[in-house]
Amino acid sequence: MIKVDISNVWGMMSLPELLAMEKEVSAAHMTLTNGDGAGNDFLGWLDLPTEEETAEMRRIQIAADRIRKDSDVFVVVGIGGSYLGPRAAIELMQGPNHNIGKGKGNPQIFFAGNGLSTRHWNELQRLLEGKDFSIAIISKSGTTTEPAIATRALRWMLERKYGTDGARKRIYAITDPVKGALRQMATEEGWETFVIPPDVGGRYSVLTPVGLLPLAVAGIDIRNVMKGAAEAKKSYDLRSFENPVWLYAAVRNALYRKGKAIELFESFEPGFKMFGGWWQQLFGETEGKDGKGLFPVSAELTADLHSLGQMIQQGERNIFETMVRFDAPEQKMVISADAKNLDGLNYLADKTLDFVDEKAFLGTLAAHVDGGVPVITMDMGELNDSKLGEMFYFLELSCGISAYLLGVNPFNQPGVEMYKRNMFRLLGKPGYEN
């Protein structure tokens, strides 16, 4: 189980206050699992984890093996949950520089369709020059502007390079099972397809082919990912404050009610940065409604201690932190001695980098708590493929319960559509003139 430590929030709330929330948290958990709350037509993610390899998973692995064999580069086209989940997983497991030195057998993985920057597109074109590549298009509709533009351009590049028949074998569509422009396009063109279940929203879709195909192409064992999620589904069904999901959901809501309007989600691992981005969308899009919601911000420590540290330490006291920790890896880095010691580091000679990291964490924790910032800590344990699945399910379940505690629909996003309508009107899209 993931360990949630709330011992550093007691200066802001008390144990009796937490225990008084037990019935409320229990009701929120029951509302979620019974499916009788707002948004209950998007609860399919609750049942995605499985300990057994499914036919769909086998088909995903076969496609991934083919991509790994015939492609130097795999481009994942999507926006929001359609790219944040897989990118978060790959960078957490393999590091932010995972693409360096890769090629056929272990292809580079790039992401497109998540913005409208010409510079980014030009860079991607340069990266694809002289490379064999395949693409996955992830969209329920196929008409979302950013990925649709990228799809059209990448499809043209593939057809120019391989011909229509050759390109067809390098395009994979992950979409709705029966409807939408992408489903129609894939059927007409003969692309291999994988299904996003209709009852799973984008930000909860990482344990569908949305995440599993890119993870498999990256060489991550998706069977172990799903087993980890399946074990989490069992473990975190516990209905008491012995459940760390309950602790996290309850404490963040209790702090919000006391004026802590911003949550900083942090780790001392650089590879965690995109995972923080996935968490940011999950909680931000789930809870930010009806004038309510914690503002989610992710940070990378210790780097951001030199940029955000001053604000955290002495800025407005409207924040709390959730610090995520992992067990140290087996391969160690030992700090060596230096005869001249001009940098003054000999006091650390023969110490490991993990030792220094741990002291930085403890020092930061103490400083921020002393500065009036409540801190939740999450000890994830050993980072592996199974743990990855557990983390995704843990946070999705926490988010659903937390949103019902907040009193909002966890599974809609009406505000996201507003910018789209304005953009379509300005672009002159038919039907949006007014």
Concerning whether 306 is annotated as a catalytic residue, the answer is yes
**322: Cβ–Cβ under 8 A, 6 or more apart, which residues?**
248, 252, 263, 264, 265, 266, 375, 376, 377, 378
Of the candidates 91, 269, 285, 300, the residue annotated as catalytic is 285
Concerning whether 24 is annotated as a catalytic residue, the answer is no
- Contact criterion met (CB below 8 Å) for 193 and 183: yes
Of the candidates 23, 129, 242, 306, the residue annotated as catalytic is 306
Nearest in space to 48 (alpha carbons), one of 226, 194, 286: 226
- Contact criterion met (CB below 8 Å) for 28 and 252: no
Structure tokens, 140: 């329920």
- Contact criterion met (CB below 8 Å) for 49 and 226: yes
DSSP state of 303: G
Measured from the Cβ of residue 166, the count of other Cβ atoms closer than 10 Å reads: 11
Burial grade of 422 (CB within 10 A; 0-12, 13-18, 19 or more): exposed
Nearest in space to 284 (alpha carbons), one of 263, 304, 260, 267: 263
Nearest in space to 18 (alpha carbons), one of 256, 238, 247, 236: 247
**270: Cβ–Cβ under 8 A, 6 or more apart, which residues?**
95, 96, 300, 303
Nearest in space to 271 (alpha carbons), one of 84, 86, 106, 93: 93
Burial grade of 278 (CB within 10 A; 0-12, 13-18, 19 or more): buried
Give me the active site residues, please.
Answer: 285, 306, 420
